[in-house]
Amino acid sequence: MKVAFIGDIVGRPGREMLKEHLKKIREEFEIDFVVANYENASHGFGMTGKNANELISYGVDCMTGGNHSWDKKDIEALFDTHEILRPHNYPDEVSGTGCKVYEVAGEKLAVLNLMGHYSMPLVDNAFRKARQSVLELKEQGVENIFVDFHAEATSEKRAMMMLLQGSVSAIIGTHTHVGTDDFQIAQGTAYLSDIGLSGCRDNVIGMDSKVPLKQFLTGMKGHFDIPKRCKKILQIAVMDINEGRCSNAFKLKYFCDGRVIKTDAWLEE
């Protein structure tokens, strides 16, 4: 099966890039299943029901979340009606789930959404939850497992790779909005510390730079806004996954000026 992943979709600019490119990408690369992180999809904070339906109409099959999952009140109902996850290591009393299994190209595919600890809300131990969840999935006969690890610290993300490599098909990081240059495949597990945002690329992590600059210069906080006009980017990872292992992977960057950059994951011998 071919699985694609889109990291933090930031506001209207990010949604517009999916509208323009995703269906063509699915067709060109014969993608079977698309996962996308929604937590910044509605003006940078959370996701509304309207925007959830919008992303689905563009070709997204499953959506993962993070620390902004609950920023819009719509999300509680969406957990029951849409293929939408939230980090699985939130306490059991929290609504929704962070792990679902899908039938894709004649095989089972699990999508597991986890959240790190550094500078994040208080949640259960991500590493213990990951180990437990993967074990339970294996006992259910699920071999193909994709992990969105939503975390601030690259050290946490790399440690998760060390814990799970060889046991899951892919671990791709989200949250920082800044793409990293370490896409690799080791022991059949694809790994990328952070895929980067889809949205405005010429400001501060997809947001207008005025408020962040004021905060850094003066210490005074303000409300972050999505720029009305900006230079946009769509970043997407594509992975060949079969029998629990990733055999090939690459990242595509689509720019609003028409440029496309493809970067292959390296194979760690």
The secondary structure of residue 84, as a DSSP letter, is B
Q: Give one word for 137, left, alpha or beta, with left for phi > 0 and alpha for psi -120 to 50.
A: alpha
Among the listed residues 21, 68, 150, 175, the single catalytic one is 68
Q: CB burial class (10 A; 0-12, 13-18, 19+) of residue 210?
A: middle
Q: Report which secondary-structure segment, H or E, holds 268.
A: strand 266-268
- Is 150 marked active-site? no
> How far is Cα 92 from Cα 220, in angstroms, rounded to an integer?
36
For residue 241, give both structure tokens: 């996954």
3-state secondary structure 203-232: CECCECCHHHHHHHHHCCCCCCCCCCCCCE
Closest CA to 98 of 110, 111, 85, 108: 85
- Find the length of the chain: 269
3-state secondary structure 9-29: ECHHHHHHHHHHHHHHHHHHH
Active site residues: 68
